[in-house]
A and B are shown apart, each in its own frame.
Chain A
Amino acid sequence: MFNFLEKNLPKIVLAPTTIVMIVCMYGFIVWTGLLSLTKSRMMPQWEFVGLDQYVRLFNNPRWHVAVDNLFIFLILFILIALVLGLLLAIFLDQKIRNEGVIRTIYLYPMAISFIVTGTAWKWILNPGLGIEKLVNDLGFVGFEFRWLVESDMAIYTIVIAAVWQSSGFVMALFLAGLRGVDDNLTKAAKIDGASTIRLYWHIILPLMRPVFFSAIVILTHIAIKSFDLVQALTGGGPGYSSDLPANFMYTYSFNRAQIGVGAASAMIMLFGVLAVLIPYLYSELREKKT
C-alpha cells in the first residue's frame, strides 16, 4: 500500500491541478461554447437556437466597431512597440554607461497596472488641461489635441498608452536576444568590412527571428486582453467608439444582461487567440524537432 502511494506520488500531487484544470479551463470553455448556442439573456437558459447569437453578434454595429478597433490597435501597437523596442535594445547594446539605470527606467511601466496607466494618460491627454494646454503655454496658441474626446481618434490614445507601458518589455526581450549573439560573428563581419547598419540588417536581425516571434505573440495576447486600459482611459467612449472586444463582452454579459451574445463574443475572442497561437506552437515544435 505504502509502496503504491510512494510510486504514484507525482500523480497524486498533480491530481488536484488536473481536475481543476479540466473543470475550470476546458469545462468552462465548453460551457461558454454551449451557452453561446442558447437563447440565454439574463440567466443561462438551455434552449438551443443554433448560431442565432453569432448572427446577432455579427449584425451588431457595436461589435464591428470593437473588432475594427482591435485590428487598428493590434497593428499599430505591435508595430510601434516592436520598432521602438528593437531600436532601444540595439542602442542599449553599445556598451552604454549606466545601462542598468536606463533599462530600469524603460521597463518600470510594466510593473504598473493598466488601470493606473489609463488614469495617468487620461489626465495627460485631457483636452483643455493636459498636453494641449502645455503646448499652448509654450506659445503655440492654436494647437489642439483632443483625441480623447474625438470618436474617430480615441482608439489611438489607447495605442499611445499601451506602447508606453509595453515597449520597454519588448526592449528587454530583444536585449536578451542580442546578448545571445556570438561575439565572433560580429567581429568577423567587422573584419570583412561590413558597416554597422549592414551588420545589423543582414546578420543580427535575421538571428532575432525567434524574438520577433515571441514578442508578437505576447503583444497580441496583451492586445486581445486589453480590457482594463480601455476601461480606465476612455471607458470605451466617446459612445462606444473605442471599445475593444473584451469591453464588448463585459458590457453585454454583465451590464446588458445578454449573456448569450456575451458568450458568443468570448468564443470569437478565443478563436482569435488560437489563430495566432497554433501556428506559433506548431513552428516552435517543428523547430525543436529539426
Chain B
Amino acid sequence: MAERCAVIGVGQTKHASKREDVSIAGLVREAAGRALEDAGLDWADIDAVVIGKAPDMFEGVMMPELYLASALGAVGKPMLRVHTAGSVGGSTAIVAAHLVASGRHERVLTVAFEKQSDSDAMWALSVPQPFSAPLLAGAGGFFAPIIRAYMRRSGAPDHIGILVAVKDRLQALKNPYAHLHIEDISFDMVKDSIMLWDPIRYLETCPSSDGAAAMVLASERVAESSTSSRPPAWIHGMAMRSEPTMFAGRDQVNPQAGLDCAADVYHQAGITEPRRQIDVAEVYVPFSWFEPMWLENLGFAEKGDGWKLTESGATALDGGDIPWNCSGGVLSSNPIGASGMLRFLEAAMQVRGQAGEHQVENVRTALGHAYGGGSQFFAMWVLSTDKP
C-alpha cells in the first residue's frame, strides 16, 4: 500500500514577462529556496529532486536539469526530469509525490519553471515538421475552434469568457507573485481588447511569463515532525491520464481523459459531489473559456451548464461558493512549465492557510488541476487539512 504524503513547503517566484535579474538557475533557486525555508529544511535535508518544464526549445537549452543539478542541491542525489506538455507542472509534482508514496524517499524537492523571455515560445511551437500541418498560430489558434464548439454546444452567450478574464485578473491583484496586476481591469477593457483568435480576445489569454514554482513533499513521519509554521497539506488523491491528440470522434471540448482523471482522483479522495465537497480549486485556465469547459469536465456543473456557474459568480473569490483560481490563475501568470505546478501549489497554500489576501476561509479540501497538449494530458490532485 502507498505511504501517506504531504506538502510541507511551497515557494514561487515573482512572475514577470522578463526576469532579467536572474539566470535560469537563479530563477529556480528563488522558488526552491523559499519552499525549503517554508518547510524549515535545508538543501542537505532533501533526498531527491524532481524537476519539470515544457519543451526545452522554450529556452534553447537541451535537458537543462543537467546544468541545474548544483543550483538545486541535487549533487549526489537522484534527479528526475519530467516533461508531459502543459500538464507538466502537475505531473512533476505527482511523480515527486510517488517517490514518497512508494516509500522510496521521505523529503522530495519538486521544481518547475519556464523562462520564456530567453527564447520565443511561439517559434518553438511552430517548427515545421514533415507531413504535418504547421501550428503557426500557437496554442490560441489551436484552442479557438474548440472554444467555438463549446459555445455552440452549450449556447453560452459571448460575454462569459470576458467575465472569467475580469474575475481572474481582479483576484490576481490579491496575489503579490502574479505576473499581471491590471489595476483598472474591467468588462469593457477586456471586451475592447483586440481579437486574437476569434473568439479569444487579447485579454482573454494568458500572458507569457518567466517564473518558477517549488514544493517540498514529505512522508507522514517527516510531515508530523515538521518545524514549518504551517500545517501539512495531505494528499488524498492524485492521478494522471492521457489520450491521443486526434482521432475520429474524439471529444476535444469535454475530453475523456479529463473525465477519467477526475473520476480517479475523486474516488481516491472520497469525493462524490465536487462542488459541495471541494472548498477551492486551482484549475488550468489559459484561455478564459476553459473555466466553464472545465467546470463541466471536472463535474462541478452538468454538461452544458458550466457557463451558468461562471455567470452566477459561483467561481469568484468574492462571494462564490466554489472559488476557482483565487491566485489569478494561468490567465495572470504563465511560466508554462511551472503553470501546472502553481495550480497544485496554490491548492496547498489554501489548505495550509497561507494564501494571504487571496485565502478562502475555512478551507479543508482543495483541487489542483493541470492539462496539456491538445487537451489530452491531465494531472490532478486533491489536498486536505486532514490526514487521510
Please say whether chains A and B are actual partners in one complex.
no
- Interface residues, chain A, with chain B CB atoms under 8 Å away: none
